[in-house]
Structure 1
């Protein structure tokens, strides 16, 4: 029995390691026109949530942080709102003190325990959602790379200039979430005979789905799933044949930016992988259908509230899509609303919002509630 158990465990390990990644052909897809689909094919509900505007929570027109946990909205600032847009409190403060953050451009959350980790250059400052300082976690190679919570005990972060040390190009660090002690490391991919330049139009990013952490490196067209503190698996590969990232490009010169195919953001759900990607002056939203194994560029029409086109971005829980509109943008684009709404109460709410909102108000968060997978048949 002992040997049988060991054999079965080995089979499980081999099956995971042998699993082939999904290949999505972006080189072909980017030239294809988007297909128009209705929001009710994907979602059961939509809410346009105006974030409360007070002297204590005035937001700049910058969305470096925008997250929806299912209960809380965390924004740049760093401001904490409830799911109805009511301002609750500010989280942390900007400065150089031991309990402050320098920039606050990027953050990620331990939503179960209501903790927010704000990135500094070489540390992560952890706060409770109520704004109290919890701890500072050393992350000496973080620079401006990505970071995410693997589990309550471990944080994964990336060194986005790993290629500067070609003798030891460590790109990923798994660290203890309490003290920053390194648990494991992964080397980054280096292209031979290439001099690496400054790449600004492709960035490392991470996302959580189904209690797992996923990582997309800036200089590779792939997505890894982190299986354990010491193991990762290639799960998605983007075929960008002939339009791949040129690591030797120096995008400090604005004329050299956006010259290659790049994935800017991804969001995974039970049935779909949503992908924001683009090249030069082309920007696309694509959906990979896991059941049909197809990838399609789409424009999503809000036929639920009779609202605006849905182009999701930012971070949300598994059950929602999230996007944000400037208040002024909503007012200017009134004529671009979809003509009908299948949910009269939501259409009425949006009508009232547009009557009362002011151009310099805080942004409006759009929360799309996805259908369960079994109801998502097209």
Structure 2
């Protein structure tokens, strides 16, 4: 009887312990692409051209935050945040380069703090500049806990607790108390050479999520540490993705580094987003210029690996961190020059066709366009 009890305990423990095939694992066969139409998921598509004028010239959008019918768009090359209304009309800019109060050398990240309602601009070497939503400067705080070096992203978990990502440090995630200047916790050790291919954490509702270029797990930033949200199982292509071997030549030459990383891994995860219905991921596949898409349907528990949509257009952002996914829509900025790669007239209603035609007839380069895909 005792032996039987032990056997039953072992079986139960084995079945109940989360593992590689746990309920939050998404299996994807990267050798078997499937067909799909964008209209399997979306009911309509809206174009929102961002106003272009001599005073409003956007070099490149690297992040967008949608808040109260406004779009706050970070142009990292220009070190400015452009603010547009929901129709794309320009409203104002936030930020000034310099050494004075509220000025900065460059912007690494920004967010709207859900607890204060203010905009927080991050300088990587430890300054957080706070503005109100109209762009008025409030204050600057420093990240100065013992051992701090650099922060490449910033997320507020409560009024004092923040999480930062440090791309090139051995441990990537750092929990700290800004008021007390105290490091609370750090984790997720990874090879520094993979850091250059990483993207910022993303937000869904009130939570932040963290993913890496090769490691197949997506983490939720819990109150005290990272928690597994879901993970991808790519079969024979799945690797832990935390370490890589790089030659001395590749340490000095980025092109060589990319080549050696692709010798060890077949893909790089460029973007992950999710909502109440779907999980989206974009992969950059070895020897392919175009990103490939994964769409996981939570209602069926099935994923699709898509190389080309039926519409023969791209569905991804040129900057992974610029994608917004809500329960109502997907929003992504695209360059004016890529417009015909992203959309066709057949995909649009009459009003949107007119907007597309006007954009294509423009005789000078336009600011980026926001494409809004409305879910069914």
TM-score category, normalised to shorter length: 0.7 to 0.9
2:134 is matched with which residue: 127, 130, 145?
130
Provide the rounded CA distance (Å) in 1 between the counterparts of 2:252 and 2:300.
41
User: How far 1:284 moved relative to its partner?
Assistant: 1.0
User: How far 1:18 moved relative to its partner?
Assistant: 6.5
Alignment of 1:202-213 (within 5 A): 202-213=197-208
Q: For the Cα contact (< 8 Å) 1:145–1:160, is it kept in 2?
A: yes
Deviations 1:315-374 (A, max 9, x none): 4252321222222333xx38x85463463333333334434x343221111122223xxx
Note if 1:237 corresponds to 2:231: yes
Provide the rounded CA distance (Å) in 1 between the counterparts of 2:114 and 2:359.
29
User: How far 1:111 moved relative to its partner?
Assistant: 6.2
Deviations 1:3-61 (A, max 9, x none): xxxxxxxxxxxxxx9694622345x32x333523133x32233221111112322111x
Tell me the SS of whatever aligns to 2:357. Answer: helix
1:139 is matched with which residue: 139, 143, 163?
143
Q: For the Cα contact (< 8 Å) 1:80–1:129, is it kept in 2?
A: no
Q: For the Cα contact (< 8 Å) 2:124–2:150, is it kept in 1?
A: yes
Tell me the SS of whatever aligns to 2:83. Answer: strand
Q: For the Cα contact (< 8 Å) 2:107–2:124, is it kept in 1?
A: no
Partner of 1:32: 32
1:360 is matched with which residue: 362, 365, 370?
365
Q: Decide whether aligned partners of structure 1 residues 44 and 126 sit closer, same or farther in structure 2, where only a CA change above 3 A counts.
A: farther
Q: For the Cα contact (< 8 Å) 2:52–2:367, is it kept in 1?
A: yes
Tell me the SS of whatever aligns to 2:374. Answer: strand
Q: Decide whether aligned partners of structure 1 residues 142 and 78 sit closer, same or farther in structure 2, where only a CA change above 3 A counts.
A: farther
Q: Decide whether aligned partners of structure 1 residues 219 and 180 sit closer, same or farther in structure 2, where only a CA change above 3 A counts.
A: farther
Provide the rounded CA distance (Å) in 2 between the counterparts of 1:237 and 1:92.
38
User: How far 1:114 moved relative to its partner?
Assistant: 4.8
Note if 1:56 corresponds to 2:35: no
User: How far 1:98 moved relative to its partner?
Assistant: 4.2
Q: For the Cα contact (< 8 Å) 1:272–1:287, is it kept in 2?
A: yes
Alignment of 1:151-166 (within 5 A): 151=158, 153-163=160-170
TM-score (norm 2): 0.75
Q: Which runs of 5+ in 2 are unaligned?
A: 1-16
Alignment of 1:160-179 (within 5 A): 160-163=167-170, 170-176=171-177, 179=179
Deviations 1:226-263 (A, max 9, x none): 232x1432122233545643433356421221512221
2:25 is matched with which residue: 23, 26, 46?
23
Q: Decide whether aligned partners of structure 1 residues 317 and 151 sit closer, same or farther in structure 2, where only a CA change above 3 A counts.
A: farther
Alignment of 1:193-204 (within 5 A): 196-204=191-199
Q: For the Cα contact (< 8 Å) 2:168–2:195, is it kept in 1?
A: no
Q: Which runs of 5+ in 1 are unaligned?
A: 1-16, 164-169, 191-195, 372-378
Provide the rounded CA distance (Å) in 1 between the counterparts of 2:233 and 2:302.
14
Partner of 1:42: 41
Provide the rounded CA distance (Å) in 2 between the counterparts of 1:49 and 1:119.
28
Tell me the SS of whatever aligns to 2:352. Answer: helix
1:223 is matched with which residue: 215, 218, 223?
218
User: How far 1:92 moved relative to its partner?
Assistant: 1.1
Tell me the SS of whatever aligns to 2:351. Answer: helix
CA RMSD of aligned residues (A): 3.2
1:297 is matched with which residue: 305, 323, 331?
305
Provide the rounded CA distance (Å) in 2 between the counterparts of 1:53 and 1:111.
30
Note if 1:247 corresponds to 2:244: yes
Note if 1:110 corresponds to 2:113: yes
Q: For the Cα contact (< 8 Å) 1:162–1:188, is it kept in 2?
A: no
Note if 1:288 corresponds to 2:296: yes
User: How far 1:137 moved relative to its partner?
Assistant: 3.6
Q: Decide whether aligned partners of structure 1 residues 70 and 135 sit closer, same or farther in structure 2, where only a CA change above 3 A counts.
A: same
Note if 1:69 corresponds to 2:67: yes
Q: For the Cα contact (< 8 Å) 2:50–2:84, is it kept in 1?
A: yes
Alignment of 1:245-324 (within 5 A): 245=241, 246-249=243-246, 250=250, 252-253=252-253, 254-257=255-258, 259=262, 260=265, 261-282=267-288, 283-298=291-306, 299-300=308-309, 309-312=314-317, 313=320, 314-316=322-324, 318=326, 319-324=328-333
Q: For the Cα contact (< 8 Å) 1:149–1:213, is it kept in 2?
A: no
